[in-house]
Structure 1
């Protein structure tokens, strides 16, 4: 069975075990059905997710020109504290920025490798947690715009990490923690502007990933430098495919690559 298309991050569905879907232009694959099967990946070319041209991908699936100009790649995306739409100030496209920024956002704790703090839109929960490979997560505050979420995250990351150790996450070197207790420890550090939005009663969400076998050590597949790879898929966690030889492939980190995927066994 052969598929060809441009990579975009896998769609997910939270059930007893997370379901993953790789979406092509005219088809899709339930990736859970490929676990324990041999598959191959072959890099063919680039295709920018914005302009659609065959140009080298710079970041987030975009070529350099698009990344430098489109509102979807503004600095506020990575650094939400830089959001300015609530002040009616434009970065690249005020209409787009208002739609994206002036909507409910959540600051949360997620446990992927260690506990980390993060920000996402309300409608991206639990998708954001799944993408980060978190086996447990909980909301801290729900605020009406991205700026308030951003300044809350900045305040809290003085006391808890805002990074995921992807190697620990993929080797399953993790601890189960009481995130309600961890949230309570951080309550006093929430900025005054966001204190009224504290969520005191939310329970933590537990997430199970479709992994048959975790590697002892991981090696990341760079499909541009090594354009062909073949292996037995042993699991999926976060946006990573995990193979039998310890190779891992980050689908989201390779958005904009056109690949051929073959199911061999």
Structure 2
């Protein structure tokens, strides 16, 4: 069976094991059902997720022009502390920025390799944790806007990393840190503006299991632009990565905007 699509990040659903879905033309693939099957991925070109034109992808599925004009990829996306909608200050599109920034956000701890601190919209839990390949996660504060979440993350970064070792995450080399203990240690460093939003009564850890039959021992990253065609046996899915038997890994999200043909053999 062949499926054509413009790649977008996989949709997920948290059950006993994460379910992974990829939209393809007039259909969708459930990767959980494709474990131990041979997949061929063929690179066919580009299509910007914003303007829809067949332009080379620059970043995050956008062509160069769209990346620097679309409100969906403003600097505040990667750096929440730069959010200004709460002050009625526009970056690129104030209406869009209000819609995204002025809603509940959560600062959390996740365990995907080491312990890391992160920010996400409340509506994106647990999707954000799954996309990062976290095996466990716990909320620290829930604040009413993105700016407060951003300054909280910045303050906590002095005491805990905000990065994941994606190689260790994919190899399933995970620290055995106690997230509840780490959360309590960080409480004192939450900025004064966000102290009242500490989730004192929410010490619940979310545990996440992934559909993986075999973890890679060495990491070989698939570059579709160079390889054009790749074929391998699917052994697992974790984060936004497809894991293959020959230790090749393919980051679906990093290839958003690529037109591909996926063949299930």
Structure 1 and Structure 2 fold alike (TM over 0.5): yes
Q: Which residue of structure 1 lines up, in the alignment, with residue 90 of structure 2?
A: 90
Question: CA offsets per residue over residues 96-134 of structure 1, 9 Å max, x none?
Answer: 000000000000000001000000000000000000000
Q: Which residue of structure 2 lines up, in the alignment, with residue 248 of structure 1?
A: 249
User: C-alpha separation between the residues in 2 aligned to 1:120 and 1:25?
Assistant: 29
3-state SS in 1 of match to 2:224: coil
Tell me the TM-score normalized by structure 1.
Answer: 0.99
User: C-alpha separation between the residues in 2 aligned to 1:158 and 1:258?
Assistant: 41
Q: Which residue of structure 2 lines up, in the alignment, with residue 215 of structure 1?
A: 216
User: C-alpha separation between the residues in 2 aligned to 1:201 and 1:165?
Assistant: 30
Q: Which residue of structure 1 lines up, in the alignment, with residue 8 of structure 2?
A: 8
Question: CA offsets per residue over residues 155-201 of structure 1, 9 Å max, x none?
Answer: 00011000110000000111233211110000011000000000123
Q: Which moved more, 1:61-70 or 1:169-178?
A: 169-178
User: C-alpha separation between the residues in 1 aligned to 2:129 and 2:57?
Assistant: 25
Contact 2:115 2:175 in 1 (8 A): no
3-state SS in 2 of match to 1:224: helix
Q: How many residues get paired?
A: 264
State the Cα distance separating 1:224 from its structure 2 match.
0.7
Question: Any unmatched runs of 5+ in structure 1?
Answer: none
User: C-alpha separation between the residues in 2 aligned to 1:79 and 1:25?
Assistant: 34
Contact 2:4 2:25 in 1 (8 A): no
State the Cα distance separating 1:52 from its structure 2 match.
0.5
Q: Which residue of structure 2 lines up, in the alignment, with residue 116 of structure 1?
A: 116
Question: CA offsets per residue over residues 78-113 of structure 1, 9 Å max, x none?
Answer: 000000000000000000000000000000000001
Q: Which moved more, 1:140-149 or 1:199-208?
A: 199-208
3-state SS in 2 of match to 1:195: helix
Q: Which moved more, 1:112-121 or 1:176-185?
A: 176-185
Q: Which moved more, 1:74-83 or 1:169-178?
A: 169-178
User: C-alpha separation between the residues in 1 aligned to 2:152 and 2:225?
Assistant: 38
3-state SS in 2 of match to 1:213: coil
Tell me the TM-score normalized by structure 2.
Answer: 0.99
Counterpart mapping for 1:32-181 below 5 A: 32-181=32-181
The answer on 1:257 being equivalent to 2:258 is: yes
Q: Which moved more, 1:83-92 or 1:17-26?
A: 17-26
User: C-alpha separation between the residues in 1 aligned to 2:51 and 2:206?
Assistant: 37
Instruction: State the 4+ residue runs in structure 1 displaced beyond 2 angstroms.
Output: none
User: C-alpha separation between the residues in 1 aligned to 2:88 and 2:17?
Assistant: 42
State the Cα distance separating 1:225 from its structure 2 match.
1.1
Q: Which moved more, 1:199-208 or 1:109-118?
A: 199-208
User: C-alpha separation between the residues in 2 aligned to 1:184 and 1:168?
Assistant: 26
User: C-alpha separation between the residues in 2 aligned to 1:250 and 1:176?
Assistant: 25
3-state SS in 1 of match to 2:39: strand
User: C-alpha separation between the residues in 2 aligned to 1:13 and 1:106?
Assistant: 19
Question: Any unmatched runs of 5+ in structure 2?
Answer: none
3-state SS in 1 of match to 2:53: coil
